[in-house]
Structure 1
Amino acid sequence: MLNENSSIAVIYKSKYGSTRKYAGWIAIKLDADLYEISDVRKNDLIKYDVIIYGGPLCAGKIKGIDLINKNYKMIEDKNIIVFAVGLSSKFQESKNTILKSNFKEDIREKINLFYLRGAFNYKELGVADKVLMNVMKITLKAKKEEELDQDSKEMLEAFEKPVDFSNKKLVNPIVDFVCKDIKIKY
Structure 2
Amino acid sequence: MKTAILYFSKYGTTRKVAGMIQSRLKGDEVTMIDLKEEQSPDLSYYDRIIVGSSVYVGSAKKKFKEFCLANYLPLFAIKEVGLFLCGMEPDEFKQQEEMERSFPEELRRHSKARGFMGGELLMEKMNFLDRVIVKKVMKTTESVYNINEKAIDQFVEKMLS
- Give the TM-score normalised by the residue count of structure 1: 0.71
Give the structure with the larger strand fraction: 2
The percent of aligned pairs where both chains have the same amino acid is 25
Between 1:93-102 and 1:18-27, the stretch displaced more is 93-102
Give the structure with the larger helix fraction: 1
* 8 Å contact kept, 2:7–2:35: yes
- Amino acid paired to 1:107: L
Larger Rg: 1
- Amino acid paired to 1:24: G
- Amino acid paired to 2:49: I
Structure 2 distance, partners of 1:19, 1:100, is 18
- Amino acid paired to 1:11: L
* 8 Å contact kept, 1:13–1:20: yes
Are 2:21 and 1:26 aligned?
Answer: yes
- Specify every segment of 5 or more residues in structure 2 that has no aligned partner in the other structure, as ranges: none
Residues 103, 43 of structure 1: alpha-carbon distance in 2 compared, 3 angstrom cutoff: same
* 8 Å contact kept, 1:50–1:80: yes
Alignment length (residue pairs): 154
Q: SS of the residue aligned with 1:73?
A: helix
RMSD across aligned C-alpha pairs, in angstroms?
2.3
Residue 179 of structure 1 corresponds to 160
* 8 Å contact kept, 1:12–1:54: yes
Structure 2 distance, partners of 1:41, 1:48, is 16
- Specify every segment of 5 or more residues in structure 1 that has no aligned partner in the other structure, as ranges: 1-5, 141-154, 181-186
Residue 65 of structure 1 corresponds to 65
* 8 Å contact kept, 2:59–2:99: no
- Amino acid paired to 1:57: V
Structure 2 distance, partners of 1:122, 1:43, is 31
* 8 Å contact kept, 2:51–2:83: yes
- Amino acid paired to 1:53: V
Residues 99, 119 of structure 1: alpha-carbon distance in 2 compared, 3 angstrom cutoff: closer
Structure 2 distance, partners of 1:84, 1:9, is 16
* 8 Å contact kept, 1:8–1:49: yes
* 8 Å contact kept, 1:45–1:75: no
* 8 Å contact kept, 1:118–1:164: yes
How far residue 100 of structure 1 moved from its aligned partner, in angstroms, is: 3.1
Are 2:80 and 1:82 aligned?
Answer: no
